[in-house]
Structure 1
C-alpha cells in the first residue's frame, strides 16, 4: 500500500500522512483537526473556546502582537510562546499548554 504525502496545513510542505508534528515548521496536528492544547479535544473551525474544557485556544503573541493558536510557537512569526506563572513567589516561564504551573502547581489561568 502506498503512503502518499499530504500538505501541512500550516506551511504547505508535503509530510507523511501519519505525522503528529510537521518536521519543517514544527507545528502540532499538521494534518488533522485542530485540537485543544490543554485536553486534546477536536476543535471546530472558528471555535472561540474548547467545547470540552472551556479554555480559549487563542492567545496574542507578545512578539508580533497577532492572534495565534495556543501552541509552542506563534503561527505567524514562529516565536516560542510562553506564559509566566501568576504566583508572585514563582514566576516560572513555561509553555502555555498547561492548566497548572509546572513548578508550584498553581492555576495558570
Structure 2
C-alpha cells in the first residue's frame, strides 16, 4: 500500500466543503466524506489511478476523479501527496508544489 498525505491547502478545502455541506444538506455531507475516503483508498492501492486529462499543470501531476470531485496529486519517493481538491465545476488553479514557511509568508507582507 502506498502512503497518502494531504497538503494544508487540500485539507483546508475538505474541511470547508464538509462544513458548508453539513449546514445545507447532511446527506450531501456524508456523501462528500465517503468520496474523500474512497479517493484516499484508491490512491493507497493504485497510485497511478489518476490521469493528465483534467489539466493539472505540474510536471508529474495527476488528477483522480471521484464522483464530482477532482483530487490533484503528485507522487514523490513512494508517497502520494494530494495537493488540491476541488469540485468538478470549480475553476482550476495550479497549486504550489513547495511548502511555504511562515518566514516566506512574512516576507510577502
TM-score bucket (shorter structure): under 0.3
* Higher-RCO chain (CA-CA 8 Å, sequence separation at least 6): 2
TM-score (norm 2): 0.23
Q: Tell me the TM-score normalized by structure 1.
A: 0.23
Q: Which has the higher helix share?
A: 2
Which protein shows a greater Rg? 1
